[in-house]
Structure 1
């Protein structure tokens, strides 16, 4: 469930009117509900409490420092896939000793940084990586904690681009290769096998693939425990969230009625009998589950274009702000921030980016929308801002966190200066700056004025 609801005809984020946030901070605007993030984290902990789990939030889903701090303050660990993510969790007060470091392409520098920080465990994706970690640990005079990532070759009903547990994917080590690595492990003098890890994909709404993957890998986990003293089994993440029914999912009891879904409660019910007898620490790596339904993207309608063949609602957010619909063909529910009467109509909701793929919804039956109206794109808390770009030289939007009746800016809107920061025209010469605004109000802007650093 989440904390976005209509009060009368106005959409509220916890106790704050969403329209007031748009007026104060501008649009496009990412808005997050702190209460939703905390609620989802605590529900997952509660469902797995018999296993005393270590929950490691997948930072790639949304890496804003304020959200990381919110989770770290409640004892959450982190699932990292880059040195930059390690830097972020350290800045946010996260504990590297409660965090794992995954990814198929770790650099030597990232390995060094993780070892120096005291990472709980690397998640190793292959034999060559194990050798590289062993070399780096030897050079630093350390012993690197590692978990071998097993690819269980289990398919899940999800988008092909987020399936990670099948044999054809780049992730993990086959069961046959793991058995060979077990025989070789004693020669790696600077690594210690701390656990086994699996992760079969993202946005999975069935329990069965998780159960099948765990069953397949348990024999390898038992060998790691009995022969090498492994202490944990990391079962990854991947639990899905509501997209089509996003607004309804805020109603109390809605999740509990979705018996066919892999909700935390159903997930735990099926996996506890398999995991409990292992006597190991269980690690889980939710990302989207914690933050996906905790965020919306507010956008303002700029124009309507009504053609005989098709109607278009043109908004000020673009695919550079939220790329999931263009990248995955994903569905996001879109609702008016202020409801009013009128018949539903069918239209494409599109952005200003110069790409035909810049489309949030195609042939969508939706409430009336006119220029100046605000729309809320739901389920934008995961893989929204974290995948945003400056494509078309569009500054990235601001982010706001709501806690009850309070709200605060947790990332300022980018300016035009931010677009060229770090670039150079001549060797050693930075690009000229000007104090223009990033909200479309740069009237009278000329290159001459930029060079003289004059305000338009």
Structure 2
């Protein structure tokens, strides 16, 4: 998977060509070949959008705090070198954010310093109300919610195009409600250990 741009690479055809070149015997009919392409099929089909709630600085580095963090990008928060994400900055009206890039962190809502989508990322300065887009999140993000600090699962929306090219959004999964978080945490059994 290419997570550095919108380009879909390597392609599945390139993958097959590399296998054929490296291990041609796999294709001589003697073997059945099974592969799993889930991430490469789904990753480019997801986008997280989050609003910058507030900004602060630690030392001299600015930090933009959002509601998208470890609960959505668990692998990124715990293994950022192996699971980096792009951050697309927008102003509050949705226009691309401009300005001289500065190294800044983009943090999530959890109560630990490692809840970061990006660390020392060169971005135009972000401000409260701005938006960030995190592309390529169609695999291992919405389906692998991490309920740390009882952070709710966000709503998931999909879209279709009509025959005339009109975009229509549809709710695919509603946001998790407070009563659902309490029930999932065992709220009905609050006196079990009394």
Q: TM-score range by the shorter chain?
A: 0.7 to 0.9
Q: Which residue in the other structure is 1:269 paired with? A: 17
1:407 aligned to 164, 169, 172, which one? Answer: 169
Structure 1 length-normalised TM: 0.36
Q: Which residue in the other structure is 2:164 paired with? A: none
Q: In terms of Rg, which structure is larger? A: 1
- Preserved contact between residue 246 and residue 293 of structure 1 (Cα < 8 Å): no
Higher helix share: 1
Q: Which residue in the other structure is 1:349 paired with? A: 106
Q: Deviations over 1:207-247 (max 9, x none)?
A: xxxxxxxxxxxxxxxxxxxxxxxxxxxxxxxxxx112x234
Q: Does 1:335 align with 2:88?
A: yes
Alignment of 1:266-345 (within 5 A): 266-272=14-20, 273-329=24-80, 330-337=83-90, 338-345=95-102
Q: Which residue in the other structure is 2:150 paired with? A: 393
Alignment of 1:372-451 (within 5 A): 372-404=129-161, 405-422=167-184, 423=186, 424-427=189-192
Structure 2 length-normalised TM: 0.81
Higher strand share: 2
Q: Does 1:246 align with 2:11?
A: no
Distance 1:396 1:264 in 2: 32
Unaligned runs of 5+ in 2: 162-166
Distance 2:170 2:146 in 1: 23
- Preserved contact between residue 156 and residue 171 of structure 2 (Cα < 8 Å): yes
Distance 1:344 1:300 in 2: 19
What is the root-mean-square deviation of aligned Cα atoms in Å? 1.9
Q: Deviations over 1:67-88 (max 9, x none)?
A: xxxxxxxxxxxxxxxxxxxxxx
Unaligned runs of 5+ in 1: 1-240, 256-261, 428-456
Q: Which residue in the other structure is 1:200 paired with? A: none
Distance 1:296 1:347 in 2: 21
Distance 1:270 1:307 in 2: 46
1:308 is displaced (CA, Å) by 4.7
1:309 is displaced (CA, Å) by 2.2
Alignment of 1:68-79 (within 5 A): none
- Preserved contact between residue 353 and residue 392 of structure 1 (Cα < 8 Å): yes
Alignment of 1:190-205 (within 5 A): none
- Preserved contact between residue 69 and residue 77 of structure 2 (Cα < 8 Å): no
- Preserved contact between residue 246 and residue 378 of structure 1 (Cα < 8 Å): no
Aligned residue pairs: how many? Answer: 175
1:311 is displaced (CA, Å) by 1.1
